Amino acid sequence: MQLSLIKHQGCATPFLRHLLDFRVYQTRQRSQCCKIACTVIRHRWMKRAPVFCTHNTTNKMISTQADKENIDMSKFPVERIRNFSIIAHIDHGKSTLADRLLELTGAIATTDKNKQVLDKLQVERERGITVKAQTASLFYKYQGQTYLLNLIDTPGHVDFSYEVSRSISACQGVLLIVDANQGIQAQTVANFYLAFEAQLTIIPVINKIDLKNADPERVEKQIEKVFDIPTEECIRISAKLGTNVEQVLQEVVKRLPPPTFKKEDPFKALVFDSNFDHYRGVVANIALFGGYLSKGDRIISAYLGKSYEVNELGLLRPDEHPTDRLYAGQVGYVIAGMKEVKEAQIGDTLYHQKHLVEALPGFKPAKAMVFAGMYPMDQSDYSALRSAVEKLTLNDSSVTVQRDSSLALGAGWRLGFLGLLHMEVFNQRLEQEYNASVIVTAPTVPYKAILSSAKLIKNRRAVQKNMVYIDDHRVMMKYLFPLNEIVVDFYDLLKSMSSGYASFDYEDAGYQPAHVIKMDILLNGKPVEELTTIVHKDRAYSAGKAMCERLQDAIPRQMFEIAVQAAIGSKVIARETIKAYKKNVLAKCYGGDITRKMKLLKKQAEGKKKMRYIGTVQVPKDAFINVLKRKDK
């Protein structure tokens, strides 16, 4: 494709430099230079909004683009940095306020009032909600000094609260937005406590004061009562109309503390968010907790211990804006040749190869509340879908993933989400951002199951000696068992109850005193030596009953009735009866009167009686071992 560019003195150089970032582009020529517009079809690296270059315009976007690469970040020592998040209940106006702040500081053009620039994802625009925290660095001039304000817009819905908790780790303060009509809501309280516990400075902002039913005074009192923040500290604004928004920026500078990190310290950065770019690999959002980072530096990931060369770093304004360096207290992005999703860990610490530092504590893992199975429509898409799921979970680290398979749907995953909306959004993002078609099973919630057979150990008179957690998934338990209790079927049962996961080993612990008695088994009154056992006194009745029941199942019916008894000494403690085969003596008795039939039945009963005393009960060989096996229910 050919490039045509009508050049006007002074406007082409930055413009050309910008074009070099693109692989495919086309130009539309207009008659005058000042009307040159270049529509970018496809960015080399990632989808971005088209950039229009128009000469002689007041559009501040151009100066931003033109200034790329030129920001000397050393001009912003910590005293002139403020890192803050905007937090609130859903729909209280975070993204609208963020738009106004971006406009006021010239990061974006003043255009559509409902643009919501930081809601970049298609799913966010379609649903009108924020699902992903976004960072934007703003330059704000106040009392003759230029400040660097790093703003993080966060989602309001409870399903995305993990985004909020991670975002505030990069901040020293928050703007807590409360709707002037709705007042304090559930997520206002939850988000307040996230910030409060992180010891951040909180500036309450009452938004939507333009609404007819707005009652900022009532909301201020609520804030004072619930959060103990004096009413005078609240700022009343209308993000939609821009009323008092400038005051918010001033208060951010005045009230929020600057970061306390030092550029003289060794470099140390927290990875608080990441996304995967198809061409450049992992793009990590970092907050510098000390030192500085330059292009070309070699850094180490504390999580993997691997070393990387920094290929690019810079600010998010909110688009990437490369710089040569980032300093302590600043927030930005870094690309360092991490090509695998697993190399980028949210919560990881990056440091310089030469200066080993103590790793930051990272983040608490998110606790999944809703689970669903996910399978490719076609099994041949399995690997492509796996890679899509991996990349998306890098950008949304609150999703838990476990491999799963189903007879009907084939290989897939069991995914855990923070809620139903979270699950829907994740699926929508998979479809929209990765072109994946998936089958998702009905969502389920986790249950805690108490296995009815979990008495396996207690039932066997075991005494627990100790329990050690070997790692997050395995526990080692030591018990003292009577050998009698484990010798026959304990191992089989343990394996089946634990679906094969538990393993078992034992060693001789010597003799112990025990209250045991001898139990005989009688078949038609005769003791069967092979079945005599020693049982614990407390379990004699249940053991005898179980043995009789099992013998009843194991001994085939014979021509006579068999009494199966368990006895301790002369006392029978359990009994079962094996019924005799009943020969139908009436089968050949066609017609005839009732007295003849009764006579035949009586004769049969007498014959059987005889056999009971004289007959020898036949016990099949394998019945012995089956009977001796315990079947705990």
Ligand X SMILES: Nc1nc2c(ncn2[C@@H]2O[C@H](COP(=O)(O)OP(=O)(O)OP(=O)(O)O)[C@@H](O)[C@H]2O)c(=O)[nH]1
Question: Based on CB atoms, which residue is closest to ligand X, 180 or 546?
Answer: 180
> Applying CB under 6 A, does 130 fall inside the site for ligand X?
yes
8 labeled part of a ligand binding site: no
With a CB cutoff of 8 Å and minimum separation 6, the contacts of 499 are none
Question: Torsions phi, psi of 256, nearest 5?
Answer: -80, 140
Question: Based on CB atoms, which residue is closest to ligand X, 92 or 268?
Answer: 92
DSSP letter string, 410-457: EEEEEEEESSHHHHHHHHHHHHHHH---EEEPPPB-------TTGGGT
Q: Which segment (8-16, 22-30, 92-100, 367-375) binds ligand X by CB under 6 A?
A: 92-100
CA distance 452 to 457: 12
95 labeled part of a ligand binding site: yes
DSSP 440: E
Residue 158: closest CA among 427, 520, 422, 502: 422
Nearest distance in Å: CB 186, ligand X: 12
Q: Considering only residues 94, 325, 429, 460, which one is a binding residue for ligand X as defined by CB under 6 A? A: 94
Nearest distance in Å: CB 167, ligand X: 12
573 labeled part of a ligand binding site: no
Contact criterion met (CB below 8 Å) for 193 and 222: no
Q: Considering only residues 96, 137, 349, 398, which one is a binding residue for ligand X as defined by CB under 6 A? A: 96
Footprint on residues 212-271 left by ligand X (CB under 6 A): 238-240
Does the N-terminal peptide bond of residue 318 adopt cis geometry, omega within 30 degrees of 0?
Answer: yes
CA distance 368 to 400: 7
> Applying CB under 6 A, does 414 fall inside the site for ligand X?
no
Q: Considering only residues 68, 73, 93, 333, which one is a binding residue for ligand X as defined by CB under 6 A? A: 93
> Applying CB under 6 A, does 161 fall inside the site for ligand X?
no
> Applying CB under 6 A, does 318 fall inside the site for ligand X?
no
Q: Which residue is nearest to ligand X (CB)?
A: 156
Structure tokens at 150: 């790093």
Q: Considering only residues 95, 137, 301, 533, which one is a binding residue for ligand X as defined by CB under 6 A? A: 95
165 labeled part of a ligand binding site: no
CA distance 353 to 360: 16
With a CB cutoff of 8 Å and minimum separation 6, the contacts of 547 are 519, 521, 531, 533, 566, 574, 627
| Binding footprint of ligand X, residue count (CB under 6 A) | 21
The distance from CA 162 to its chain's CA centroid, rounded to whole angstroms, is 9
Q: Considering only residues 14, 106, 155, 290, which one is a binding residue for ligand X as defined by CB under 6 A? A: 155
> Applying CB under 6 A, does 207 fall inside the site for ligand X?
yes
CB atoms within 10 A of CB 300: 19
With a CB cutoff of 8 Å and minimum separation 6, the contacts of 521 are 527, 528, 531, 532, 547, 548, 551, 564, 565, 566, 567
58 labeled part of a ligand binding site: no
153 labeled part of a ligand binding site: yes
CA distance 191 to 464: 44
CB atoms within 10 A of CB 81: 24
Helix (H, G, I), strand (E, B) or coil at 169: helix
Nearest distance in Å: CB 209, ligand X: 7
> Applying CB under 6 A, does 208 fall inside the site for ligand X?
yes
> Applying CB under 6 A, does 106 fall inside the site for ligand X?
no
CA distance 339 to 303: 15
Nearest distance in Å: CB 95, ligand X: 3
Nearest distance in Å: CB 232, ligand X: 21
Nearest distance in Å: CB 149, ligand X: 18
Binding mask 544-583 toward ligand X (x if CB under 6 A, else -) reads ----------------------------------------
Question: Based on CB atoms, which residue is closest to ligand X, 150 or 238?
Answer: 238
Residues facing residue 81 across a β-bridge? 148
Question: Based on CB atoms, which residue is closest to ligand X, 130 or 349?
Answer: 130
DSSP 523: E
Q: Considering only residues 38, 73, 88, 164, which one is a binding residue for ligand X as defined by CB under 6 A? A: 88
Contact criterion met (CB below 8 Å) for 176 and 188: yes
Nearest distance in Å: CB 370, ligand X: 19
Nearest distance in Å: CB 425, ligand X: 11
Nearest distance in Å: CB 4, ligand X: 41
| 3-state SS record for 205-232 | EEECCCCCCCCHHHHHHHHHHHHCCCHH
Alpha-carbon torsion, ordered 253, 121, 399, 393, to 10 deg = -100
Footprint on residues 110-129 left by ligand X (CB under 6 A): 114, 129
> Applying CB under 6 A, does 166 fall inside the site for ligand X?
no
Structure tokens at 264: 């003289």
Structure tokens at 235: 């700022």
Q: Which segment (60-68, 149-157, 247-255, 621-629) binds ligand X by CB under 6 A?
A: 149-157
99 labeled part of a ligand binding site: no
CA distance 120 to 115: 10
DSSP 141: E
> Applying CB under 6 A, does 464 fall inside the site for ligand X?
no
- Quick one: CA dihedral 194, 196, 201, 202, positive or negative? positive
Nearest distance in Å: CB 113, ligand X: 8
How many distinct helices (H) and strands (E) make up the chain?
Answer: 15, 29
91 labeled part of a ligand binding site: yes
> Applying CB under 6 A, does 104 fall inside the site for ligand X?
no
Nearest distance in Å: CB 242, ligand X: 9
> Applying CB under 6 A, does 210 fall inside the site for ligand X?
yes
Question: Based on CB atoms, which residue is closest to ligand X, 136 or 374?
Answer: 136
Question: Based on CB atoms, which residue is closest to ligand X, 133 or 316?
Answer: 133
Nearest distance in Å: CB 236, ligand X: 10
Which positions touch ligand X (CB under 6 A)? 88, 90-96, 114, 129-130, 155-157, 207-208, 210-211, 238-240
- Please state the residue numbers annotated as binding site for GTP: 88-95, 153-157, 207-210
Annotated binding-site residue numbers: 88-95, 153-157, 207-210
